[in-house]
Amino acid sequence: MRTAPLLVLVLALGTVGFAKKQTIGVRFHVEANENEGQPFATPIAFHHPERKGYIKQVPFISERNIEAIFPYPAADGTFGCAFKLDNFGRTSLEETSLSNRGASVVAFVGTKTGTHQVIDMVIDKVIRDGIITIPSGLTQLEVDALTTEFKVLGETGKKKKK
* pLDDT tens digit sequence for 20-65: 566 899 999 999 988 876 788 999 999 888 999 999 999 999 999 9
Query: Which residues partner with 42 through β-bridges?
Result: 55
Give the number of residues written for the chain.
162
- Determine how β-strand 25-32 pairs with β-strand 50-56: antiparallel
* Buried-state track 30-40, b at ≥16 Cβ within 10 A, e below 16: bbbeeeeeeee
Q: What is the pTM of this model?
A: 0.82
At 114-140, the pLDDT tens digits run 899 999 999 999 999 999 999 999 999
pLDDT tens-digit readout, 69-91: 999 999 999 999 999 999 999 99
pLDDT of residue 63: 96
Q: Return the number of other C-beta atoms located less than 10 Å from residue 21's C-beta.
A: 6
Confidence (pLDDT) at 161: 55
Q: State the pLDDT at residue 13.
A: 44
**Can you tell me the distance from the alpha carbon of 108 to that of 127, in angstroms, rounded to the nearest whole number?**
19
Q: Which domains does the chain have, with CATH numbers?
A: 21-152 (3.30.1360.200)
User: What pLDDT was estimated at residue 156?
Assistant: 74
Comparison of pLDDT for 30 and 160, the residue scoring more: 30
Tell me the pLDDT band of 162, cut-offs 50, 70 and 90: low
CA 124, 138, 53, 97 dihedral sign is: positive
Q: Is it true that the peptide bond before 43 is cis, omega within 30 degrees of 0?
A: no
